[in-house]
Structure 1
Amino acid sequence: MLLAIDAGNTNIVFALFEDGQIRTRWRITTDARRTADEYAVWLSQLLHLEGYQRSDVNAVIIGTVVPRALHNLEVLSTKYFGVDPVVAGQGDAGWGMALDVEEPQNLGADRALNMIAAHEQFGGDLVIIDFGTATTFDVIDYRGAYKGGVIAPGINLSIDALVSAAAKLPRIAIEAPANDSVIGRNTVEQMNIGVYWGYIAMMEGLTARMKAEIGRPVKVVATGGLAILFEKHTDIFDAVETDLTLQGLALLWSRAHVGNAR
């Protein structure tokens, strides 16, 4: 089985793949100081609870936007699973797509993996919206080339900034408003409207501008845990794939594995 590790700024997701399908997944808070031994204790227990053993894992791929976390994840793979990990974006696991931007070296692994998976699944011109620590919009053309995008503050970051800067504002949960009104009658309603409908307005406005600039039919693919929440009140998404990054890792491992087999 393949263990895919997606190390983001907020959480690290571990997913077990078998025959290209996710069998189970686990999430832990990202901490670059966490050692391989700590990961192993935590992960071994979770594997056992799901009926698996460490010996069931015979391949590992790591994608990370936190460079300091990579070493301990590599040690986890070699020491506790007995396999040399594939690192997304390196060696035989290179992105395999043109990066038609000014600073290609700065492209985050999660965004590249999203684009690889989306292009494989949908083809054509795409806008990919990822609701993570940041909310990102990425444009990939019909040939599979990355053309650029947008980075906006993530929803939780926006709420944190608002609450920390305004003493009287309470911390609120991210949820769809009870109705479609954008005139709040109390503080919590007004904050909820600002976050929820504000993000929908941003998404709709940016994607409309992107589509006009591209000038060809475009599919919009949403990913990240909050994509489903926003899907209820906007029609801009052509598809919602919450596991796009993990799918990209599995696809990249498959390509690297085939390359090594030749």
Structure 2
Amino acid sequence: MSDLLKVLEIDVGNTQLKWRVVDQVGKTPIQRATTAAFLAGEVSATAFSGVSRVRVASVASDEINERLRLYLQAICPQVFFAQSVAQMYGLVNAYETPEKMGVDRWLGMLAAWQRQRSSLCVIDCGSAITIDWVDTHGLHLGGYIIPGLRMLQTSLQSNTARVKFNTQGFNWNDSPGSTTDACVKNGSCYVLGALAEKIQRQADEKKTQSIVVTGGDGHFLIDYLRTAQWEPELVMEGLVWADQFSGVGC
């Protein structure tokens, strides 16, 4: 980071975003806010003063991204939005139309690939859970997108007449429940625990060298994955690599 002395890095999800500031000394702890609050100026911009470049990974809508771009350009004119591409650093995207892949998936794979340079599985546990496999040559073998922990729970709340439960408060528990509330919450844990165990079996069968887990709920799955690494800032790490590949970032 010899030329870019202070960089703001932002990971934008469906409703929330998180950010950190990186400089020659180190990086700040991850901060979080709703995207709406950030765009409304409810987040103090004091920490962003002196920023020489902004890096963004966003899965938000085009409208939100354009609003975010305008907001960030008022802080710093150099704003880089990462995109999914056909290949980068030897990692080859399986999608026929690479830009249609969520950039968070691409950046997560990219960061894991740059670390391992071997066969791997990346699991990102956010609003949705994504699972992507990469072989030892860097070829993306495809993946899965399934509802995340809370989406599993709220789908029952939204689509059934009599399955009602308290959406506040949550502790991981996959034992059988004795109330509707516990049955729904523990049931979602049971499903995701079974999913994690299947991923571990497949990784063993494929002789996959590493499983890398990220995302807000990722830590819940670690106990089910014997060989997994927990990397909560994986997408931001991939964002740095993508910016460097663009030829501007450093």
Provide the TM-score with structure 1 as the length reference: 0.80
Q: Is the 8 A contact 1:89 1:95 kept in 2?
A: no
The superposition leaves residues 5-61 of structure 1 with CA deviations (integer Å, 9 ceiling, x where unpaired) of 111113122221224953133222234xx795x3xx334x2x54xxx3x33211111
Match of 1:249 among 209, 232, 239: 239
Q: Structure 1 residues 196, 217: closer, same or farther in 2, change over 3 A?
A: same
What is the match of residue 71 of structure 2? 76
C-alpha separation in 2, matches of 1:130 and 1:175: 20
- Change in Cα spacing, 1:25 to 1:247, as seen in structure 2 (3 Å) is same
Amino acid at match of 2:164: L
Q: Aligned partners of 1:102, 1:216: CA distance in 2, in Å? A: 27
Are positions 1:163 and 2:157 aligned together? yes
C-alpha distance in 2, partners of 1:137/1:5?
22
Higher helix share: 1
- Deviation of residue 137 (structure 1)? 0.1
Q: Percent identity?
A: 23
Which of residues 145, 156, 172 is equivalent to 1:151? 145
- Residue aligned with 1:22, SS: coil
Deviates more, 1:101-110 or 1:129-138: 101-110
Would you say the 8 A contact 1:88–1:95 is kept in 2? no
Opposite residue 184 of structure 1, the aligned amino acid is G
- Alignment length (residue pairs): 240
- Separation (CA, whole Å) in 1 of partners of 2:71 and 2:143: 34
> For residues 249 and 129 of structure 2, what CA distance do their matches in structure 1 show?
37
**Correspondence for 1:122:** 116
1:30 counterpart = 2:35: yes
Structure 1 residue 221 displacement after superposition: 0.8
Alignment of 1:43-122 (within 5 A): 43=43, 45=44, 47-48=45-46, 52=47, 54-66=48-60, 67-81=62-76, 83-89=77-83, 95-96=88-89, 97-122=91-116
Distance (whole Å) between structure 2 residues aligned to residue 255 and residue 223 of structure 1: 22
**Preserved CA contact (<8 Å) 2:124 2:131:** yes
Please report how far the alpha carbon of residue 118 of structure 1 lies from its aligned counterpart in structure 2 after TM superposition: 0.9
Task: Please give the alpha-carbon distance, in whole angstroms, between the structure 2 residues aligned to 1:12 and 1:104.
Answer: 23
Structure 2 spans left out of the alignment, 5+ residues: 1-5
Supply the distance in 2 between the matched residues of 1:261 and 1:16 (Cα, whole angstroms). 14
Distance 1:185 1:35, change over 3 A: closer
Determine helix, strand or coil for the equivalent of 2:176: coil
Q: CA, structure 1 residues 103+204, in 2 after alignment: closer, same or farther (shift >3 Å)?
A: farther
CA contact (8 A) 2:84 2:100 kept: no
Partner of 1:42: 42
Root-mean-square deviation (Å): 2.7
Match of 1:56, SS?
A: coil
**Equivalent of residue 224 in structure 1, options 196, 215, 232:** 215
